[in-house]
Structure 1
Amino acid sequence: MPASAERYLEVQRSEEFAQLRHRLRSYIFPTTIAFIVWYSLYVLLSAYARDFMAIKVIGNINVALIFGVLQFVSTFLIAWHYSRYAAQKLDPLADEIHSTLESGPAAEAAATTTDGGKA
């Protein structure tokens, strides 16, 4: 039996849901800001510090190429770290909220009908 709209609102107002949102936001916002700053630095250096970006490090590999590759590396590292963070901090709490939602009033109604209305 699907949960009612009231049940969803009750879960949304719960402390567990607030904690889940806090954990998600405390990871997402700083990480997003850090990545945007990092990406903007790359773009700005490419546009306004051409001499710096043109410095050859090894052979034909210059600073701009290294920064460009590091953009990909940082993206994959963020995705990897988020998946670990979510598995450890977010998923268990989300699973708990989901099981509470699924077993809420339906479980109580089933218990009262199986034991003759006694809880």
Structure 2
Amino acid sequence: MDKYDGGEAARLRPDDPWYDALASGWGELGGAGSRASAVPHARREPADRTATAAEIYLEVQRSPAFQEVRSRYRRFVFPGVAVFFTWYVAYVVAATTAPDLMARPVAGAVNVAMLAGLGQFLSTFLLTWAYARHARLRRDRAALELRWNTQELTRETER
């Protein structure tokens, strides 16, 4: 098994039951070569062995790897919410201001309003699928590595 951020062999982490649970890839990444957009490894040793957990979390929050994970999240979520909200509002506005358009038959008893309403359900499922896929392919591995590093740093300060 290769590490997410490079070709060196990863340490086996049997004490963390979530290590591979979220970032299994499910075969969508192809080979190791398609992981080129990996977020770099963000492990840093604390400058002071007596650092508190709050200081460690703030250090991780300021790290470039965390900022990249957060940026990837925002680059997907903000446009997705804007498009979906616009589509939802357009449906409601069309249903209230253009009842003749919405009542226009398409096939038999099926009209434009029914198709648009079903489109709302379909777009909800598609957006959910796209979000889960994006998270799995673009953020889960990096976030999992950040979480692991944060736990290691926290354990080190407890010793």
TM-score by length of 1: 0.85
Cα deviation for residue 100 of structure 1 reads: 1.0
Residue of structure 2 aligned with 1:49, choices 98, 101, 115? 98
Partners of 1:58 and 1:47 lie apart in 2 by 22
Partners of 2:125 and 2:137 lie apart in 1 by 18
Question: Are 1:13 and 2:62 counterparts?
Answer: yes
Partners of 1:108 and 1:48 lie apart in 2 by 63
Higher helix share goes to which structure? 1
Tell me the residue number matched to 2:107.
58
> Structure 2 regions of 5+ residues with no counterpart?
1-51
Question: Are 1:93 and 2:142 counterparts?
Answer: yes
Tell me the residue number matched to 1:81.
130
Number of residues of Structure 1 aligned to a counterpart in Structure 2: 108
SS of the residue aligned with 1:104?
helix
Q: Answer whether contact 2:102 2:111 (CA < 8 A) is retained.
A: yes
Identical residues among aligned pairs (%): 40
TM-score by length of 2: 0.64
Partners of 1:72 and 1:88 lie apart in 2 by 24
Partners of 1:54 and 1:102 lie apart in 2 by 58
Question: Are 1:28 and 2:77 counterparts?
Answer: yes
Q: Answer whether contact 2:105 2:111 (CA < 8 A) is retained.
A: yes
CA RMSD of aligned residues (A): 1.6
